[in-house]
Amino acid sequence: MNRLTKVASASGIALGLVLGTGITAANADEAPDSAEAVFSDFVDALNVSDTTDAALNQKFDQLPAAEQERVADTIEEDPLSLMQFSTGAPILTSSTGTAAEPALARNIASSIKTASHHSVPNGERASARNAASGLHIQTVATNPRYTATYLVNASLFGITTGTFNMRYVFEATSTNVTRNLECTGWFTGAAGIWNISTSQSNYVSGGSGACTVRYNMALAFKGSFFSANKQQQLIYTGTRLTSATLKNV
């Protein structure tokens, strides 16, 4: 072998090493994501609040490794299958039921990153989805809508002089309130010396929905030195009235 041949051989080996290393590096770049990373990307794509994000990740971390793999497979195969949709705009709530996140499907469809390493037969995927059902994020179904009105009359010598009105619109199953749609209150009639303004608040927690209206009653004009406040509240658990009160606060 002459000198030229030796140089060519050495160059070829060196080139081979370089190319081989490059290919290995490229493969490393495309290395499959871990199940945790897949799930994390999935949750990021949901654009949920930080609290919900943390809660979901924590729940995922508590699953056995095999379960985590199955969930990751499901996310990659069909992320929407992790959720249940019904007619109407899909609205996501976390399992804690704390925050409503609209436009979920849009985000998921466009943002979920898929990897290629989780190749599981379809039958396994189906069972994996079922096995992972405890982790499913459920969208709020468009449950029946209910409107509750609560009227309390103020009277003087048996004559009705005014009415505290309240309207609470919510979605519910027979046992749980799933979403509050409207919570308003107002006073009609003669309040005499009072200048009345209102403020409202509402929440859904543990299957119960509450609507609270606060009446700020100021003497003669808003911001005067003397005031008296009232609170009117409706609480429903499903379609069952739990509490209806009007009290001084």
Rounded Cα distance between 234 and 183, Å, is 10
Residues that bind other proteins (CB under 8 A): 144-156, 161-162, 164, 187, 189-195, 217, 219-221, 228, 230, 234, 236, 239, 241, 243-248
Least CB distance from residue 158 to other proteins, whole Å? 11
Q: Which helix (H) or strand (E) holds 88?
A: none
Least CB distance from residue 176 to other proteins, whole Å? 15
Q: Count CA atoms closer than 13 A to 129's CA, side-chain side.
A: 18
Whichever of 107 and 229 has its CB closer to other proteins, that residue is 229
Least CB distance from residue 204 to other proteins, whole Å? 16
Whichever of 80 and 154 has its CB closer to other proteins, that residue is 154
Of 31, 41, 35, 125, give the one whose Cα is nearest residue 78: 125
Give the helix ranges, DSSP H, for 35-165: 35-46, 50-61, 65-77, 104-111, 122-131
Whichever of 99 and 181 has its CB closer to other proteins, that residue is 181
Rounded Cα distance between 215 and 185, Å, is 8
Whichever of 24 and 147 has its CB closer to other proteins, that residue is 147
Least CB distance from residue 205 to other proteins, whole Å? 20
Q: Which helix (H) or strand (E) holds 245?
A: strand 240-248
Least CB distance from residue 55 to other proteins, whole Å? 33
Whichever of 105 and 246 has its CB closer to other proteins, that residue is 246
Name residue 230's amino acid.
K
To the nearest 10°, the Cα dihedral for 50, 51, 55, 58? 60
Q: Do residues 142 and 100 make contact, with C-beta atoms less than 8 angstroms apart?
A: no
Least CB distance from residue 94 to other proteins, whole Å? 27
Rounded Cα distance between 98 and 8, Å, is 69
Whichever of 161 and 199 has its CB closer to other proteins, that residue is 161
The SS3 assignment for 41 reads helix
